[in-house]
């Protein structure tokens, strides 16, 4: 038996006694709660909880059994993640690689605890998988309207073959088919280069310039079939001026895109995000 550290994300209908049930069950099985946060959504009458705990356990199943009584009693949905088994992540990119490179460096520096399994891009990358991409497997899968189905199939094949827990669209710039979006539902994060819901669709920086806004932003969200409408994980903005043309907005935007995507990915990897319909509950550290 070894010390296991686990995070349980729990959702169920709101009711009295949930926190007590979880705390008592974990304590009875010898687990110590390191952190615990919860939220009642009065509107939807749903309850959300994140419990970070540790203790001796032989297996994931043994940990799961600890909470079985609460699960039954409150009809809970539980997602259980073990710290020594980081998520396996597939990275999708396109010509602009600033988000991709940023995520790779944050992973290398220990800020993002994940297992990047491969990179897929519809553009070749200078140097292939070497150098900047830290030797990660690199798949160049070009795409045209005519070949999109086959290309998406190839991406899904890589995701399945490598056991991807999460797919990150690091400025992938391709609109996913409904089939692809459905196949990745709940385990795919996208970065949109606007402060949603403003400037949906194509060329948001040009839209922002035309409207004359004084700040631009970026939004990281889970992908759903409904483009730019998925549950938002993180957003941020930066001030701009009348003197910034669209090219300058694109440059200033790169900084926010990097930051917002990295923040959203980190929140997901640490099990801090719970989806609540079209919104998210975020348990900050």
Q: Which residues are catalytic?
A: 228
Shortest separation between residue 65's beta carbon and its own copies, angstroms: 18
- Contacting residues for 227 by C-beta, under 8 A, at least 6 apart: 175, 200, 201
Tokens of 32: 């110590």
DSSP H stretches of helix in the chain:
18-28, 60-66, 68-74, 98-108, 148-161, 178-184, 204-211, 246-269
Angle at 78 between CA 19 and CA 179, to 5 degrees: 145
Burial status of residue 201 (CB atoms within 10 A of its CB: 0-12, 13-18, 19 or more)? exposed
Q: Toward its own copies, which CB reaches closer, 39 or 78?
A: 39
Going from the C-alpha of 134 to that of each of 41, 102, 119, 250, the distances in angstroms are 43, 12, 11, 26
Q: Toward its own copies, which CB reaches closer, 71 or 159?
A: 71
Q: Toward its own copies, which CB reaches closer, 155 or 256?
A: 256
> Rounded CA gap, 177 and 160, in Å?
18
> Rounded CA gap, 166 and 168, in Å?
7
> Rounded CA gap, 97 and 279, in Å?
28
Binding mask 141-180 for its own copies (x = CB under 8 A): ----------------------------------------
Binding mask 212-231 for its own copies (x = CB under 8 A): xxxx-x-------------x
Does the footprint of its own copies cover residue 136 (CB under 8 A)?
A: no
Count of residues of this chain found to bind its own copies when the rule CB under 8 A is applied: 66
Residues 5-34 that bind its own copies (CB under 8 A): 16-17, 19-24, 26-27, 32-34
> Rounded CA gap, 218 and 30, in Å?
43
Does the footprint of its own copies cover residue 1 (CB under 8 A)?
A: no
Shortest separation between residue 216's beta carbon and its own copies, angstroms: 10
Shortest separation between residue 145's beta carbon and its own copies, angstroms: 28
Does the footprint of its own copies cover residue 56 (CB under 8 A)?
A: no
Shortest separation between residue 158's beta carbon and its own copies, angstroms: 24
- Mark the segment that binds its own copies (CB under 8 A) among 136-144, 157-165, 167-175, 272-280: 272-280
Residues 175-214 that bind its own copies (CB under 8 A): 195-199, 211-214
Q: Toward its own copies, which CB reaches closer, 158 or 216?
A: 216
| Residue 178 and residue 247 in contact, taking contact as beta carbons nearer than 8 Å | no
- Residue 284 is given by DSSP the state -
Binding site for its own copies (CB under 8 A): 16-17, 19-24, 26-27, 32-43, 98, 101, 105, 109-111, 127, 130-132, 195-199, 211-215, 217, 231-237, 241-243, 245, 251, 254-255, 259, 276, 278-282, 284-285
């Amino acid at each position: 038996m070894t010390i296991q550290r686990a995070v349980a994300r729990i959702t169920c209908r709101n009711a009295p006694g949930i926190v007590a049930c979880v705390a008592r069950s974990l304590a009875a099985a010898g687990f110590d709660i390191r952190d615990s946060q919860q939220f009642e959504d009065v509107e939807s009458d749903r309850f959300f909880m994140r419990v970070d705990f540790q203790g001796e356990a032989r297996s994931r199943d043994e940990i799961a059994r600890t909470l079985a009584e609460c699960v039954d009693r409150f009809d809970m949905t539980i997602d259980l993640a073990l710290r020594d088994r980081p998520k396996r992540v597939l990275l999708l990119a396109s010509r602009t690689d600033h988000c991709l490179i940023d995520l790779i460096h944050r992973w290398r520096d220990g800020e993002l605890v994940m297992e990047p399994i491969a990179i897929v891009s519809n553009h070749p990358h200078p140097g292939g998988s070497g150098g900047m991409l830290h030797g990660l497997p690199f798949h160049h899968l070009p795409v045209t309207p005519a070949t999109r189905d086959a290309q998406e199939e190839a991406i899904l094949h890589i995701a399945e073959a490598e056991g991807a827990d999460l797919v990150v669209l690091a400025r992938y710039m391709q609109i996913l088919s409904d089939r692809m979006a459905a196949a990745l539902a709940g385990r795919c994060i996208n970065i949109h280069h606007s402060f949603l819901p403003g400037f949906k669709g194509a060329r948001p920086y040009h839209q922002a310039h035309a409207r004359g806004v004084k700040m631009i932003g970026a939004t990281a969200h889970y992908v759903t079939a409904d483009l730019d409408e998925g549950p938002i994980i993180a957003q941020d903005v930066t001030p701009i001026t009348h003197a910034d043309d669209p090219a300058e907005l694109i440059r200033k935007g790169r900084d926010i895109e990097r930051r917002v995507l990295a923040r959203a990915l980190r929140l997901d990897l640490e099990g801090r995000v719970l989806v609540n319909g079209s919104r998210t509950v975020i348990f900050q550290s």
